[in-house]
Amino acid sequence: MAQISVGDSIPDGTVAYHDDEDQMQNASIHSLASGKKVVIFGVPGAFTPTCSMQHVPSFIEKSDELKSKGVEELLLISVNDPFVMKAWKKSYPDAKNVKFLADGSGSYTRALGLELDLSEKGLGVRSRRFAMLVDNLKVVAANIEEGGEFTVSGADEILKAL
C-alpha cells in the first residue's frame, strides 16, 4: 500500500478502545472521523520513551487549543492490544480529550502505508510516528517521521496547519 498523503481520503478500518464506562468497543475509523475535523496520530508503541514522554503529552497538553481551532476528535493509534492502550491511557490523568485506539493486528497501520519494522528491537511490525489533520475523511496535513525521529508529528506542528 502506498503511504497516505495530503489530499488522500483516509481508509476505513476497525480499531478497539475502552469507553468511559470501561467497556471495550470496536469502531470504524470512518465512524469516528466522518463529517469532522480530527487529528489522527500514531506512535510505535505504548509506554515507550518518546511516545510516552513527548508525543502523547504534546497532544494532551494542547488538546484544548486544538479543540478551540475546530478539532473535534484526537485519535491516537498504536499497534498494541486494547488492554495495553487502556492501561496507557490511565497513566495520563488529563487524557480525557484523547481516544487511545488499538490497532492490534496492525491492519489499519498497513492500510495507511505507515508500517515500521522494529523486529530487530524485539517489537515486531509497528507504526511509524505520525500526525495527520483530517477534515471529513480527507488528509489536510500529513506529518510523518523518519526512523525514530520526533520533529514534525507533535501537536505544535498540527496547530501550525490549522
Catalytic residue annotation: 51
What residue spans of 3-62 are helical by DSSP H? 29-33, 49-50, 56-61
Distance from the first to the final alpha carbon of the chain: 28
Measured from the Cβ of residue 94, the count of other Cβ atoms closer than 10 Å reads: 10
Residue 112 parent element (H or E)? helix 107-112
Asked if residue 11 lies in contact with residue 147, where contact means CB atoms within 8 angstroms, the answer is no
Torsion of CA 5, 134, 128, 45, to 10 degrees: -170
